[in-house]
Chain A
Amino acid sequence: MTTKDRAPALGADGWFTTGDDPHLIGSRCDACGTYAFPKRSGWCPSPACRGTELIDTPLSRRGRIWSYTDAQYQPPAPFVCPPDAFEPFAIAAVELEAEGLVVLGQLVPGVGVNDVKVGDEVELAIGVLFADDTREHLVWQWRPTGGTR
């Protein structure tokens, strides 16, 4: 049995690490220390800063749910879904305290809106967004840790 290639989905190349403790990769301004996700380059997003060095930096693996929802109907393209295979999925906006960011992402498959609440702790996971004949296209997802606030 051949193993498919695994690679970040188009658009997310370099946005996360894989392995046992995956991280999202954001930017940190070398001048003022503010963060950005997705990564950016060229200039600091803060109007109070003239910094131009934005350094790739791993973001906190864990955060708290700011809010959540789900998709009961198949989203339109460019969302990719095999014909007749749509399964509703859940989405969370997750607050990363150290970085002061709220980052969107799907919740891991099998976790629905009834399984989470605002303030619940989640951690980053890497999952398969979709697969084609040769490749699994990877994306970041959020998985509840069981911690609540």
Chain B
Amino acid sequence: MSTDDVVVLGAGMHPWGKWGRNFVEYGLAAARTALDDAGVEWSDIDFVSGSSTMRNGYPGYVAGATFAQALGWTGCRVASSYAACASGATAIEAARMRILAGRSDVALVVGADTTPKGFLAPNAGDRPDDPDWLRFRLGGITNPSYFALYARRRMDVFGDTDEDFAAVKVKNARHGLGNPNARYRAETSVEEVLASPMVANPLRLLEICATSDGGAALVLCSADYARSHGVIDPVRVAAVSTVTPTYPNTIIEMPNLATDSSAVATAPERPFKASIAHAAYEEAGVGPEDLDVAEVYDLSCALELDWYEDIGLCAPGDAAKLIRNGDTMIGGRIPVNPSGGLACFGEAVPAQAIAQVCEVTWQLRGQAAGRQVDGAKVGITANQGLFGHGSSVLLVR
């Protein structure tokens, strides 16, 4: 462990569900669990980094200070990060950078949300200058519409099938069975998935993640601080990628109505989603061949297959082979979403990127009871936020 490492000292969650209570309660429970896990008093935390909640693109309502107040004002420093679904990674990075700069020793990162039922939608009111408002108003283009466009393209271009997408759900449902923080803990079958109602062809209800309530928190600290607490072999944060796209971004991106133009500028070597993990690999000095486990953002079952390619588990177009071979099951070559993923959690937007890091932390510590990937030492999280926010965290033990 190098002296300039940032390490995960504690991880905690409030279980995901549809509890209908104030989000602060979930964040508080997750924070206290993470503090207990770290063996750190709240009064010792010198920086609290909040992952802001949002309603399809709009920051507000939740800030780091909300959680600081709930835990009891101590005068610690605060920041709040908004990056849509990637907000948690940005909050992690804010804490990590303060620690690396020597300005903080031990920081608390918190994200929590109470999510409305049904389609995520923009805030009320006419806002014709806002791309997120425009796509709903002018096209009725919801989040699942974008997931479905990617899914259909896989089918028509690569030959992926309905059964391939359903198999991802079946795998994740099995993974999540033993996860006490997961909202949905029941096995399903390809037949049951394919019998669920079509929402956005080719995606069915059971292939699109739900919206959930939940909270997740991390205690991050310097290597010196961990040592002084007697922790000699912690999970280390080897990289955090919060990249934006490179012009021209030629893949249609939520909430936009069009891509960038490739008429003059050539499309970059790596599309945006592939560039997210690539930046993390570069920063950590490891590659996809070094991975033992991955948590990726399965907003839809088909999107999980996109991530296999985008984090480098296989060549573009080959992801369906991995699910068919069982490679990404626990016990397979490279297990993906051992937590059960969004398929078992549903999405609590500002908590989700933090929850991914909690899971990989538990996996690398060997504490993921009922869903443990044997001997996991290197893990990655990958996620993407509305408007062009990359999110990937590489963890090593």
Contacts and interface: CB of A to CB of B under 8 A. Distances in A.
Interface string A71-111: 11111111110000000010101000011111111100000
Interface string B231-263: 000000000000000011010100011111111
Nearest to A95: B259
A4 interface: no
B137 A79 contact: yes
Nearest to A32: B264
A119 B156 CA distance: 9
Contacts of B156: 67, 117-119
Interface residues of B, number: 47
B261 A35 contact: yes
B149 interface: yes
Contacts of B133: 11, 78
A46 interface: yes
Interface string A110-127: 000100011100000000
Contact of A102 (B138, B140, B252): B252
A71 B258 contact: no
Q: Give the one of A34, A105, A117, A129 with max B CB within 10 A.
A: A34
Contact of A103 (B121, B197, B247, B258): B258
Contact residues of B: prevailing secondary structure:
loop
A101 B202 CA distance: 24
B138 A129 contact: yes
Contact of B258 (A68, A77, A101): A101
A106 B247 contact: no
Contact of A104 (B137, B139, B264): B139
A76 B121 contact: yes
Interface string B295-307: 0000000000000
Contacts of B199: 72-73
A11 B138 contact: yes
A71 B126 contact: no
B200 A106 contact: no
Contacts of B197: 72
Contact of B139 (A68, A99, A105): A105
B119 interface: yes
A77 B145 contact: no
B148 interface: yes
Contact of B136 (A34, A79, A113): A79
Closest CB pairs A-B (n = 9): A11-B128, A69-B148, A100-B262, A100-B263, A118-B156, A76-B121, A75-B140, A35-B261, A67-B153
